[in-house]
């Protein structure tokens, strides 16, 4: 059996819960070890960073981890025209979409003489983690850096692990040059997160860390949260396809394996009310596995985390999808817009036959840094707003404070916080 199969009508609540209740970092040992690594970086700086690079890989010697803009520029000059055009097109679309996300200040006057303003400002310094090592992801560099630039972040530090032979991918370096990056470090894993969060002699600490990564990176981000801001826990890739009899089985299969090829811990799920279409999709997956390059990785992912869910009604299928809260959701049905309106709990949604996951991963301009592990119930895609912070500014006149004086006094007295009441009343003593 290529993928596990569940009939919802026969499944117990415990069986369904075992499928939908998951975490971006399910291994508690990984969490503990990642926390220990970042604590070593916090305590010993470059010395610990160097030791972690030697122990776990993904980093150059300390004196070589900073990548010069000149080296990025050389890589950019060596790009093929087709790849350069593709990167520039993708960057343009991402920038256009994210410009429309820029927060707008708001001013409200709930009572005459009381002004409450909500204002947004960009962060000063952020760190962008870009996965790397055996593979390189220039698309993730675009997705992390461009929203920060649109937000107006003054300093952007990029970290990415070196690959075999301590080399960095030339396309990744070229993309950094395309974006005008001035600060980039060849270091990855939990130690990179620790360096960004706490700072070392070589890497200055940041205010917030964003970007996807493996379980170690995600665990490290969770470990530093509280000392440093993070965007969201983005773990292994997930694809969920909600389909009916109108779907093209081969297109559905292609979407499933496009996310499964990220790694053996990727999740690929099919939800439908039609057993025949489910069988056709499974057959199509088997056919496609004969022609794709990362077939072994995909087979491992499907064996470990592949899932077919047969629902007795579309309402039941929708309820399952909302409980699962997938990272990527493709809806290939006769009326995808209506169904999408009933599913608020998903990271990035793709409607219809002509909307493959890979379009959003690379070129629509939507962000592909997304919540996983069911956290789409509480988080959304990385956005411009993630690169700033809100504050409230309150201005009252004498008449405005007088209008709410009794309200403040009554609530303060009920909470036995009489100094709160005094801070209002004292302003009216001997006041004309």
**Residue 274 domain-assigned?**
yes
What was the pLDDT predicted at 121? 97
Question: Has residue 383 got a pLDDT over 90?
Answer: yes
Question: Has residue 2 got a pLDDT over 80?
Answer: no
**pLDDT tens digits for range 33-50:** 999 999 999 999 999 999
In this structure, the answer to whether residues 327 and 264 fall within a common structural domain is: yes
- pLDDT more than 90, % of the chain: 85
**pLDDT tens digits for range 230-263:** 998 887 899 999 999 999 999 999 999 999 998 8
In this structure, the answer to whether residues 56 and 70 fall within a common structural domain is: yes
pTM here is 0.93
DSSP at 68: P
CATH of the domain at 166: 3.40.50.1980
In this structure, the answer to whether residues 173 and 41 fall within a common structural domain is: yes
**Residue 89 domain-assigned?**
yes
**How many domains does one find in the chain?**
3
What was the pLDDT predicted at 423? 96
In this structure, the answer to whether residues 227 and 241 fall within a common structural domain is: no
In this structure, the answer to whether residues 16 and 84 fall within a common structural domain is: no
In this structure, the answer to whether residues 331 and 416 fall within a common structural domain is: no
In this structure, the answer to whether residues 253 and 223 fall within a common structural domain is: no
In this structure, the answer to whether residues 63 and 38 fall within a common structural domain is: yes
Residues that are catalytic: 327-328
**Residue 356 domain-assigned?**
yes
Domain region containing 149: 28-113+123-232
**pLDDT tens digits for range 156-177:** 999 999 887 778 899 999 999 9
- pLDDT more than 70, % of the chain: 99
What was the pLDDT predicted at 1? 56
**pLDDT tens digits for range 96-140:** 999 999 999 999 999 999 999 999 999 999 999 999 877 789 999
């Amino acid at each position: 059996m290529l993928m596990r199969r569940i009939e919802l009508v026969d499944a117990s609540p415990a069986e369904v819960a075992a499928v939908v209740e998951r975490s971006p970092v399910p291994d508690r040992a990984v969490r503990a070890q990642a926390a220990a690594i970042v604590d070593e970086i916090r305590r010993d700086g470059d010395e610990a960073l160097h030791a972690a690079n030697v122990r776990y890989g993904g980093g150059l010697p300390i004196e070589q981890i900073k990548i010069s803009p000149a080296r990025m520029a050389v890589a950019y000059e060596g790009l093929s025209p087709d790849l350069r055009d593709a990167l520039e097109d993708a960057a343009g679309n991402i920038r256009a979409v994210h410009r429309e996300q820029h927060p707008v200040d708001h001013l409200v006057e709930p009572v005459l003489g009381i002004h409450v303003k909500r204002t947004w400002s960009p962060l000063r310094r952020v760190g962008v983690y870009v996965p790397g090592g055996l593979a390189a992801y220039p698309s993730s560099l675009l997705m992390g850096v461009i929203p920060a630039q649109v937000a107006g972040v003054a300093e952007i530090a990029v970290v990415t692990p070196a690959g075999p032979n301590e080399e960095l991918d030339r396309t990744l370096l070229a993309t950094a040059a395309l974006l005008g990056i001035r600060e980039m470090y060849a270091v990855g894993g939990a130690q990179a997160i620790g360096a960004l969060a706490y700072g070392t002699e070589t890497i200055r600490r940041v205010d917030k860390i964003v970007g996807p990564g493996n379980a170690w990176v995600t665990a490290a981000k969770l470990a530093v949260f509280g000392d440093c801001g993070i965007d969201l826990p983005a773990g292994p890739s997930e694809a969920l396809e909600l389909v009916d009899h109108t779907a093209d089985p081969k297109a559905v299969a292609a979407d499933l394996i496009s996310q499964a090829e990220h790694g053996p811990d990727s999740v690929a799920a099919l939800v439908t009310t039609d057993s025949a279409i489910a069988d056709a999709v499974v057959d199509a997956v088997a056919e496609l596995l004969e022609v794709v390059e990362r077939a072994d990785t995909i087979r491992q992912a499907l064996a470990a985390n592949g899932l077919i869910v047969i629902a007795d009604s579309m309402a039941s299928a929708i309820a399952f999808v909302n409980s699962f809260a997938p990272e990527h959701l493709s809806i290939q049905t006769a009326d995808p817009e209506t169904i999408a309106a009933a599913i608020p709990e998903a990271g990035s949604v793709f409607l219809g036959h002509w909307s493959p996951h890979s379009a959003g991963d690379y070129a629509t301009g939507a962000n592909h840094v997304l919540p996983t592990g069911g956290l789409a119930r509480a988080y959304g895609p990385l956005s411009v707003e993630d690169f700033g912070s809100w504050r409230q500014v309150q201005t009252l006149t004498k008449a405005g404070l007088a209008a709410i004086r009794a309200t403040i006094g009554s609530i303060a007295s009920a909470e036995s916080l009489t100094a709160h009441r005094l801070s209002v009343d004292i302003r009216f003593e001997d006041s004309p």
